[in-house]
Copies of this chain bind each other. A is one copy, B any other.
Amino acid sequence: MRRILTLFLLLPLALLAQTEDQRQIEEIFSQSLTNGKSYSWLDYLSNQIGGRLSGSLNAERAVTYTKQEMESLGLDRVWLQPVMVPKWTRGVKEYAYIESGPGKITPVNICALGGSVATPDGGLRGRVVEVNGIAEMETLGREKLEGKIVFLNEPMQPDLINTFQAYSGCVNQRYAGALEAAKYGATGVIVRSLNLRLDDLPHTGSMSYGDLPAEERIPAAAISTKDAELLSTMLRLDDKITFYFSQKCRVFEDVKSYNVIGEIKGSEFPEQIITVGGHLDSWDLGDGAHDDGAGCVQSMEVLRLLSETGYRPKRTIRVVLFMNEENGLRGARKYAEVASENGEEHLFALESDAGGFTPRGFSFDCRDDQFEKVLSWKQLFEPYLIHLFEKGGSGADIGPLKNGQTVLAGLRPDSQRYFDHHHAANDTFEHVNKRELELGAATMAALVYLVDKYGFNSSEIKG
């Protein structure tokens, strides 16, 4: 009898709460789609500032701009968190060709990988050995690779639905290709661009020489997928063709930069922090609109949407624009380090760093009981065609916050077009669709709202 009574008492309350959540989320989406700021912020970041490689003047302009914009939102606090970042510059445009005979030259599209050394003065020329990823180098050994340019030509697997999985499957050839090839005495490496399309754009990205002494480091460049196919075909016809490339990139001393942070203090649990962010730096070839201008403006928009819809957070909600995700992750490490020093309690961290495409859902790095709580909100997202709630990775910048308590999550937009633009000259504003960007911001704001309101402690609200 008592049980039945409880049920009757709780039912209307539950229905009421549900309706309030539905209404709040509807207002968030409506505000984002009719009166959003994310697209115009991205326009400025992309078209007035442009590519924002760590340590560049543009990166500092982006810091100044986003700090100003956050200040204009009337947050409780906006500040810069200093962090030393690497400074690598591309220098004059790279140049490369295949030489298939005396005077028979075919220019190809390449770009230096981020962190690579320059080619020697006058460029680097050599015979080419093609390998299908790093593993094959071991089979060939020093005998076949010494003095050669190693051409790492492992394509992304096209029949994986999630293109990030295809990326993970072969990104190591870009990151560690030069390190491994140098061990076998190769003179340089050319890496197939990590792109599922065949096109003319080389895609840069980070690489590492590990502990390799400076004098053993060899230059590394990405080649467009079309030219990778061409080079591969020409090698099959004649393995004596030579490859020439020239790049003038340089590493400088670390420079001072900043994470840009703004927050609304929580009204009930100000000590509990919800962080939402993206990374402010980008590669230099495009304007970094998808990677990760989109994530930055969406994160800023989360705070604006909550304010504009009249929601007063119970917990502290913080937007963090991380510096130096692309080639160092220094901003992410600094943020986690300072949080730890200050004894801050992060309840939740959400990252958007997979492009400004139609949002499909989130992946969560958390405990099962926390994930169950998340799943109880899933149906609230269905009217917005957000279906994907799964356990998995979150994001590079919030990774250092992982401690077994904090729930980490990554926005999961549609991934089909992402690698067409990733780290290439066509990662530009005109390839971001306004509505898709705005839907992403609203989806993030809806989740932040629910986490703020209910937390993850299953006993806190519902039994």
- Chain A residues at the B interface, C-beta cutoff of 8 Å: 29-30, 33-34, 158-159, 161-163, 196-197, 358, 360, 383-385, 387-388, 414, 416-417, 420, 433-436, 439
Known: A358-B358, A385-B388. A34 touches B414 (CB 8 A): no
Question: In the assembly, what is the distance between CA of A368 and CA of B289, in Å?
Answer: 45
**Which residue of chain B is the closest to A360 with respect to CB atoms?**
B385
**CB within 8 A of A435: which of B33, B416, B436?**
B416
- The answer to whether B196 touches A435, judged by C-beta atoms less than 8 angstroms apart, is yes
A26 to chain B, nearest CB (A): 9
A318 to chain B, nearest CB (A): 27
Question: In the assembly, what is the distance between CA of A433 and CA of B196, in Å?
Answer: 11
Beyond A162-B385, A358-B416, A387-B387, list 10 extra A-B contacts (CB 8 Å): A29-B161, A30-B159, A34-B158, A161-B385, A358-B358, A360-B385, A385-B388, A416-B433, A417-B433, A417-B435
**Which residue of chain B is the closest to A36 with respect to CB atoms?**
B158
What 4 A-B pairs come out closest when comparing CB atoms? A387-B387, A30-B159, A33-B159, A416-B435
Question: In the assembly, what is the distance between CA of A314 and CA of B27, in Å?
Answer: 50
Across the interface, which residues of B come within 8 angstroms of A384, CB to CB? 161
Across the interface, which residues of B come within 8 angstroms of A162, CB to CB? 385
Across the interface, which residues of B come within 8 angstroms of A30, CB to CB? 159
A197 to chain B, nearest CB (A): 7
**Which residue of chain B is the closest to A161 with respect to CB atoms?**
B384
- The answer to whether B158 touches A33, judged by C-beta atoms less than 8 angstroms apart, is yes
**CB within 8 A of A433: which of B29, B360, B420, B433?**
B420
**17 residue pairs A–B, Cβ–Cβ below 8 Å:** A29-B159, A29-B161, A33-B159, A34-B158, A34-B159, A158-B435, A162-B385, A163-B435, A197-B434, A358-B358, A387-B387, A387-B388, A414-B414, A416-B433, A416-B436, A417-B433, A417-B435
A238 to chain B, nearest CB (A): 28
Across the interface, which residues of B come within 8 angstroms of A416, CB to CB? 358, 433, 435-436, 439
A397 to chain B, nearest CB (A): 25
A433 to chain B, nearest CB (A): 5
Across the interface, which residues of B come within 8 angstroms of A433, CB to CB? 416-417, 420
Question: In the assembly, what is the distance between CA of A90 and CA of B428, in Å?
Answer: 35
- The answer to whether A161 touches B358, judged by C-beta atoms less than 8 angstroms apart, is no
**Which residue of chain B is the closest to A31 with respect to CB atoms?**
B159
Across the interface, which residues of B come within 8 angstroms of A388, CB to CB? 385, 387
Across the interface, which residues of B come within 8 angstroms of A358, CB to CB? 358, 414, 416
Question: In the assembly, what is the distance between CA of A433 and CA of B30, in Å?
Answer: 28
**Which residue of chain B is the closest to A198 with respect to CB atoms?**
B434
Question: In the assembly, what is the distance between CA of A163 and CA of B416, in Å?
Answer: 20
Across the interface, which residues of B come within 8 angstroms of A417, CB to CB? 433, 435-436
Question: In the assembly, what is the distance between CA of A416 and CA of B30, in Å?
Answer: 15
A176 to chain B, nearest CB (A): 27
A383 to chain B, nearest CB (A): 7
Question: In the assembly, what is the distance between CA of A387 and CA of B387, in Å?
Answer: 7
A27 to chain B, nearest CB (A): 10
A334 to chain B, nearest CB (A): 35
Question: In the assembly, what is the distance between CA of A436 and CA of B34, in Å?
Answer: 27
Across the interface, which residues of B come within 8 angstroms of A436, CB to CB? 416-417
Across the interface, which residues of B come within 8 angstroms of A161, CB to CB? 29, 383-385, 439
Across the interface, which residues of B come within 8 angstroms of A29, CB to CB? 159, 161
Across the interface, which residues of B come within 8 angstroms of A158, CB to CB? 33-34, 435
A33, A383, A436 — most chain B CB neighbours (10 Å): A33
Question: In the assembly, what is the distance between CA of A159 and CA of B385, in Å?
Answer: 13
Across the interface, which residues of B come within 8 angstroms of A434, CB to CB? 197
**Which residue of chain B is the closest to A433 with respect to CB atoms?**
B417
Question: In the assembly, what is the distance between CA of A161 and CA of B358, in Å?
Answer: 11
Across the interface, which residues of B come within 8 angstroms of A385, CB to CB? 161-162, 360, 387-388
Question: In the assembly, what is the distance between CA of A383 and CA of B433, in Å?
Answer: 26
A173 to chain B, nearest CB (A): 20
Question: In the assembly, what is the distance between CA of A434 and CA of B161, in Å?
Answer: 13
**Which residue of chain B is the closest to A32 with respect to CB atoms?**
B159
Question: In the assembly, what is the distance between CA of A163 and CA of B435, in Å?
Answer: 10
Question: In the assembly, what is the distance between CA of A439 and CA of B415, in Å?
Answer: 12
A355 to chain B, nearest CB (A): 13
Across the interface, which residues of B come within 8 angstroms of A360, CB to CB? 385
Question: In the assembly, what is the distance between CA of A283 and CA of B387, in Å?
Answer: 34
